[in-house]
Structure 1
Amino acid sequence: MDKVNLSIAIIPMSHQFGWSSSVAGLVQSSFFWGYALSQLPGGWLSKIFGGRIVLQFGVLTWSLATALVPVVAGFMPGLVFSRILVGIGEGVSPSAATDLIARLIPLEERSRAVSFVFGGLSVGSVLGLLLAPPLIESFGWESVFYMFGLFGIMWFLGFQFVAEDQPSINSGSLSRSQSNPKAKSWETSMEEFGGSLNVPWKSFFQSKAVWAMIYAHFCGSWGHYCCLSWLPTYFSEELDLNLTEAAWVSVLPPLASVVVTSFASQFADNLISNGVDTTVVRKICQTIAFLSPAACMILSSVDLGLPPWEVVTILTAGLALSSFALSGLYCTHQDISPEYASILLGITNTVGAVPGIVGVALTGFLLDSTHSWSMSLFAPSIFFYLTGTIVWLAFASSKPQTFKKID
């Protein structure tokens, strides 16, 4: 919800403050500065203290920063800083969730677990896009940030009463304290802190599979973040929809993603349970996740004289099918190393945040320069989807790897 709120509120905010597309792109991209900076620290801290603690810290940080936006909106440095804080809070959270999943969920259930947890992104996008327009029209754009920030604070308070189940797997590579983060003492965490200073970074970057994950994450994020930030404006300006109509139409891709995610995860887990090689399953799912939006963006960018509802349908289908990535790329971190899953996601998500910084801002700049949505939004995404598919098919692997410190 807190990722999409600005993509809707940016329209009335731009009108009120007189922002150009370039400035609006800068404001939206500032979230990803914090998001990129916090990925590796989030993975590292999750390994040391456990994902539960880091997740709580992340949610509280980004929720407070979200509620701060209306206070500082008229002061650009303050607005940018508040969005950086939102990015930092959200940046540590994927690694924290990945740490919990890697420790508690067996391989044959992993696709469903990852899809269920990260599928919350799509559910939140739907709710955020549905709630934002009526809130803005009734109480002003400021109300969106106050309300959504309050939701996160309420989650933080409620999570204090949630008990953590015992691990359902017994991983030989994990110590007892690692497999049950809640049971860690401060002394144990400090001992792990010292050991985690010796993370086998060099070994990670000598793996072709890790490099495939890094590039695939970059490519998928380019299309996802640029569309997340700019599709409401595209629907409003290019398809001549008003704010409410643009928001309602923007709901369709994440709403369809909820359906696709549940199907894709069951599809992947069934294949693995029936003996299909895990690497093959991950490659199939990720290929669908890349080629589907690429094909639909090509159709949308070519001037075929299609009516708006057909363009919306095509984009919705492509972006929904990109959710197959939750059963592809997003499972490989746990597949190849449960012990270092949170750190590996921190690595790939750091690179994956770069398109949010560069791509979102670049889209606004290209839009001001070319006045073409095809050149500014769709063409770069298509390029990365296609090259990402090639790299993934050539080098991706889900074979468990032992990463050792290399002198």
Structure 2
Amino acid sequence: MPTYYNQVLKFNLTESGLFCVLPWLTMAVFANIGGWIADTLVSKGFSITTVRKIMQSIGFLGPAFFLTQLSHVHTPALAVLCMACSQGSDAFSQSGLYSNHQDIGPRYAGVLLGLSNTAGVLAGVFGTAATGYILQRGSWDSVFKLAVALYIVGTVVWNLFSTGEKILD
């Protein structure tokens, strides 16, 4: 994000640092909103599986949508808003994927979270390298298109294979 802000939006290091905080603050707020929505849906009788799928779909498709908008905005303020909305909607994953470990294996929730978090960290490591590679040959649009594609694939896979039912005893 700081590199994008500097290269594309022409923010200096101080501005970039200040604007990089906004998406994380948005995420903190939306994680709580997502939790409230998930709890409300469960209390209204929706199955845990359905709630996890809804919340994770928002957590993937929301960022995908806002990242597609970055190539259409023409002001730094709108670009920062898109980034904040992308990160904010990503926070709905807290009530999807991240809560799901407790659903499918309560005794092993910590281990399951550790395994999935490790996969996420590895994706982050390879994603950073891939971003550098793409930027040497392409543009930020290409980076965002790849991210959008991965979000869409993730949504399809999640909705096909996830469950909120206990799998591990």
Per the normalisation by structure 2, the TM-score is 0.94
SS of alignment partner, residue 241 of structure 1: coil
Q: 1:246 aligns with which of 8, 13, 16?
A: 16
Q: Structure 1's 340 and 305: CA in aligned 2 closer, same or farther, altered over 3 A?
A: closer
Q: Structure 1's 241 and 260: CA in aligned 2 closer, same or farther, altered over 3 A?
A: same
Q: 1:334 aligns with which of 90, 96, 102?
A: 102
Q: 1:260 aligns with which of 22, 30, 35?
A: 30
Measure the CA separation in 2 of the matches of 1:359 and 1:305.
24
Q: 2:163 aligns with which of 391, 397, 400?
A: 397
How much does 1:402 deviate? 3.5
How much does 1:257 deviate? 1.0
How much does 1:369 deviate? 2.5
Is the aligned partner of 1:313 residue 2:81?
A: yes
How much does 1:350 deviate? 2.3
Is the aligned partner of 1:388 residue 2:158?
A: no
Q: CA offsets per residue over residues 111-132 of structure 1, 9 Å max, x none?
A: xxxxxxxxxxxxxxxxxxxxxx
1:119-268 superposed matches below 5 A = 231-268=1-38
Amino acid in the other structure paired with 1:278: I
Q: Is the 8 A contact 2:64 2:152 kept in 1?
A: yes
Q: CA offsets per residue over residues 127-164 of structure 1, 9 Å max, x none?
A: xxxxxxxxxxxxxxxxxxxxxxxxxxxxxxxxxxxxxx
SS of alignment partner, residue 393 of structure 1: helix
Measure the CA separation in 2 of the matches of 1:305 and 1:317.
14
Q: Is the 8 A contact 2:52 2:96 kept in 1?
A: yes
Q: Between the two proteins, what is the percent identity of the paired residues?
A: 38
Name stretches of at least 5 consecutive residues in structure 2 with no aligned partner. none
Per the normalisation by structure 1, the TM-score is 0.40
Measure the CA separation in 1 of the matches of 2:39 and 2:135.
42
Name stretches of at least 5 consecutive residues in structure 1 with no aligned partner. 1-230
Is the aligned partner of 1:352 residue 2:120?
A: yes
Amino acid in the other structure paired with 1:299: Q
Moved over 4 A (4+): none
Computing the radius of gyration from Cα coordinates, the structure with the larger value is 1
What is residue 52 of structure 2 aligned with on the other side?
A: 282
What is residue 62 of structure 2 aligned with on the other side?
A: 292
- Root mean square deviation, CA, Å: 1.4
What is residue 134 of structure 2 aligned with on the other side?
A: 366
Measure the CA separation in 2 of the matches of 1:393 and 1:338.
21
Measure the CA separation in 2 of the matches of 1:358 and 1:314.
24
How much does 1:273 deviate? 2.4
Q: Is the 8 A contact 2:23 2:84 kept in 1?
A: yes
How much does 1:358 deviate? 1.0
Amino acid in the other structure paired with 2:49: T
Q: Is the 8 A contact 2:73 2:79 kept in 1?
A: no
How much does 1:275 deviate? 2.1
How much does 1:381 deviate? 0.8
Amino acid in the other structure paired with 1:384: L
Measure the CA separation in 1 of the matches of 2:73 and 2:64.
19
Measure the CA separation in 1 of the matches of 2:98 and 2:37.
15
How much does 1:305 deviate? 5.6
How much does 1:262 deviate? 1.1
